[in-house]
C-alpha cells in the first residue's frame, strides 16, 4: 500500500518536473526571458567552473616554473592587450580606406572609433565538443549582454549566447547555428557566411558564378542587423567552385580569428552610444593608450 | 522505517553533493580534443549510480536540480539536461529494481548503456528542436565509453566489497 502510494507519487512528481523542464526549454528557445534565471542558477556552479580550470592553470605554472613568472606574465599580458588594441586600430584605418571606396556604406559607419569594448580572457572550460563555444571570464557584472559580438585583432570570433554572473559563453561563427552577413572587401559583393560546426571551415552562400570573388578575398562584416560592427574581417576565401548548371558559386572560407586560451579577446557594444548610456568600459582609443 | 533526523540526512547527502560536483567538473575540464569527443556524461553516470544503489537517497527532485545546474554549467539550453536526468532517474526508480542486478556486472553495464543512450537521444532531440540539425555523430559513441567505465568500476567495486554485495552468497 505504502509502496503503491510512493510509486504513484513518483509518477506525479515526474509529470510535474517534466512540465517545468519543457516550459523552460520552450521559453529558452523562443525568448531571452530566462536570461536572469540563468544568472541566478549559475551562482552555485561558479566554484565548479573555477575548479575545472585548475589543471590548465597548473600546466601554465609548470611551464613558467623557471622564469620570473609573475613579472613576465604580467608584462606579457599587458603587451598583448596593448598589441591587440593597436592592431584593432589598424583594422579601423584599413576600414577608413574601404569607406572612401564605398561611399554608400559611409552613412551607416558613423563614429566607429567610439565603440566601447572590454577585454576578456577565454577560460580553459571545454563545453560539448560538437558545439563551437568558448567561455570567457566576463559576465553580467561586467554588463555583458546576450548577442554581443566578440572580436580579436584578426577579426570576428562570434557572439555571446549565454551570460552568468562572472562568465559568459561565446558561440563562435564556426558553430552550425551561426550565420552572418558579409561583403567581399575587394569587390563589395554581399554574401552570407555560415558555420559548419568545424573550427576551420565556413560556407559562403549567396554568391553567383558571375560574381567577382577569388581565392584569398577577405570577407568583412556589413553591420546588417546591427549585430556586428561594420567592416570587421571575418574570413578568407579558400576555394571557389563555379557550377555551370546552377549558376551559383560554391565558396568556402576559413575564419580569420582564432581563439587561443590565455589570449585576450574583445567584447564590443556596437549599438551603445558612449555619451548617453550607463558605463562603457573602455574605448578602442583608451585601450590603446593603456 | 524510522524518520531520519535532519543532521544525519545532511551527513548522508555529502557524498551525493561531492560526487555530482566532481562529475560536473570532469565534464568541462580541458582535455585533448581527440579524447574529448568520447567524454561520457559523468553527471548521468553518477545519477545512475545513486538511483541504482541507494534509491532512497536520490530522487526526482535531485535529478532535476542537478540537470538544471548542469545546464547552467554548460551554458546550454536551460531544461535540456534537467529533463534528460529526470527521465533517467524516473526509469530507474520506476522500472529497475537493483536487488537482482548487484551481482551481474555485465547485465548492469548493458542497462547503463541503454540509459546513457536514452540520455543522448533526449539531449539530441532537444538541441535539434531548438537549433536545427546540429553537432557531430560522435556523441552516440559516448554511451559506450560510459558503459565500459561502468563495467570497470562495478567489477572493481565488487572485488572491494565482496560480502556486502554477495559474491559469496
* pLDDT, tens digit, 9 for 90 and up, residues B36-89: 888 999 999 999 999 988 877 888 999 999 999 999 998 888 999 999 999 999
Element (H, E) at B23: helix B6-28
Site from A9, A21, A164 to mutate, B interface, most B CB atoms within 10 angstroms: A21
Q: Are A183 and A219 in contact (CB under 8 A)?
A: yes
| Pairwise CB contact (< 8 Å): A21 & B82 | yes
Q: Which among A285, A290, A281 is positioned nearest to A120, based on CA atoms? A: A281
Query: Could you read off the pLDDT of A83-120 as tens digits, one per residue?
Result: 888 888 888 877 777 766 655 444 444 444 456 788 88
Non-local (6+) Cβ contacts of A165 within 8 A are A39, A42, A43, A46, A139, A140, A141
Q: Which tens digits make up the pLDDT trace of A229-284?
A: 788 889 999 988 887 777 788 889 999 887 666 678 888 887 654 444 444 444 44
Which pLDDT belongs to residue A39? 87
Write down the pLDDT at residue A280: 42
Nearest CA in chain A to B138: A130
CA–CA distance, A263 with A134 (Å, rounded to integer): 12
Give the CA radius of gyration of chain B.
16
- Look at A126 and B36 and tell me if their CB atoms are within 8 Å: yes
Interchain contact, A131 vs B135, CB within 8 Å: yes
Average pLDDT, chain B: 83
Best to test chain A binding among B75, B84, B95, B138 (most A CBs inside 10 Å): B75
How far is Cα A181 from Cα A193, in angstroms, rounded to an integer? Answer: 6
Contacting residues of B for A56, CB less than 8 Å apart: 30
Amino acid at each position: 500500500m505504502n509502496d503503491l502510494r510512493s510509486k504513484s507519487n513518483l509518477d506525479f512528481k515526474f509529470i510535474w518536473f517534466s512540465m517545468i523542464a519543457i516550459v523552460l526549454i520552450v521559453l529558452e528557445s523562443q525568448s531571452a526571458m530566462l536570461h536572469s534565471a540563468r544568472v541566478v542558477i549559475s551562482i552555485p556552479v561558479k566554484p565548479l567552473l573555477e575548479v575545472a580550470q585548475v589543471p590548465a592553470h597548473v600546466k601554465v605554472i609548470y611551464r613558467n616554473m623557471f622564469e620570473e613568472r609573475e613579472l613576465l606574465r604580467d608584462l606579457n599580458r599587458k603587451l598583448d592587450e596593448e598589441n591587440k588594441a593597436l592592431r584593432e586600430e589598424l583594422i579601423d584605418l584599413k576600414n577608413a580606406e574601404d569607406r572612401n571606396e564605398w561611399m554608400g556604406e559611409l552613412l551607416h559607419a558613423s563614429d566607429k572609433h567610439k565603440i566601447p569594448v572590454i577585454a576578456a580572457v577565454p577560460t580553459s572550460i571545454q563545453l560539448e565538443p560538437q558545439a563551437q563555444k568558448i567561455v570567457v571570464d566576463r559576465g553580467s557584472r561586467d554588463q555583458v549582454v546576450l548577442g554581443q559580438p566578440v572580436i580579436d585583432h584578426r577579426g570576428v570570433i562570434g557572439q555571446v549566447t549565454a551570460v552568468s554572473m562572472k562568465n559568459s559563453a561565446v558561440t563562435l561563427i564556426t558553430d552550425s547555428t551561426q550565420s552572418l552577413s558579409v561583403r567581399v572587401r575587394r569587390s563589395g559583393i554581399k554574401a552570407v557566411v555560415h558555420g559548419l560546426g568545424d573550427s576551420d571551415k565556413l560556407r559562403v552562400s549567396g554568391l553567383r558564378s558571375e560574381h567577382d570573388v577569388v581565392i584569398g578575398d577577405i570577407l568583412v562584416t556589413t553591420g546588417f542587423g546591427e549585430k556586428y560592427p561594420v567592416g570587421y574581417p571575418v574570413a578568407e576565401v579558400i576555394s571557389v567552385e563555379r557550377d555551370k548548371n546552377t549558376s551559383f558559386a560554391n565558396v568556402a572560407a576559413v575564419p580569420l580569428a582564432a581563439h587561443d586560451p590565455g589570449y585576450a579577446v574583445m567584447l564590443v557594444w556596437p549599438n551603445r552610444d558612449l555619451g548617453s548610456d550607463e558605463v562603457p568600459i573602455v574605448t578602442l582609443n583608451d585601450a590603446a593608450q593603456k | 522505517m524510522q524518520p531520519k533526523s535532519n543532521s544525519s540526512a545532511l551527513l548522508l547527502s555529502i557524498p551525493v553533493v561531492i560526487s555530482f560536483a566532481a562529475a560536473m567538473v570532469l565534464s568541462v575540464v580541458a582535455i585533448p580534443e581527440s579524447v574529448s569527443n568520447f567524454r561520457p556524461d559523468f553527471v548521468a553516470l553518477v545519477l545512475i549510480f545513486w538511483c541504482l544503489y541507494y534509491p532512497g537517497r536520490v530522487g526526482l527532485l535531485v535529478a532535476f536540480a542537478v540537470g538544471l545546474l548542469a545546464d547552467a554549467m554548460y551554458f546550454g539550453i536551460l531544461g535540456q539536461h534537467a529533463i534528460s536526468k529526470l527521465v533517467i532517474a524516473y526509469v530507474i526508480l520506476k522500472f529497475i529494481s537493483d536487488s537482482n542486478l548487484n551481482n551481474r556486472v555485465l547485465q548492469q553495464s548493458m542497462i547503463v548503456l541503454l540509459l546513457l543512450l536514452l540520455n543522448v537521444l533526449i539531449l539530441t532531440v532537444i538541441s535539434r528542436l531548438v537549433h536545427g540539425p546540429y553537432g557531430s555523430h560522435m556523441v552516440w559513441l559516448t554511451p559506450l565509453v560510459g558503459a565500459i567505465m561502468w563495467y570497470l568500476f562495478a567489477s572493481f567495486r565488487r572485488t572491494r566489497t565482496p560480502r556486502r554485495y554477495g559474491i559469496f552468497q
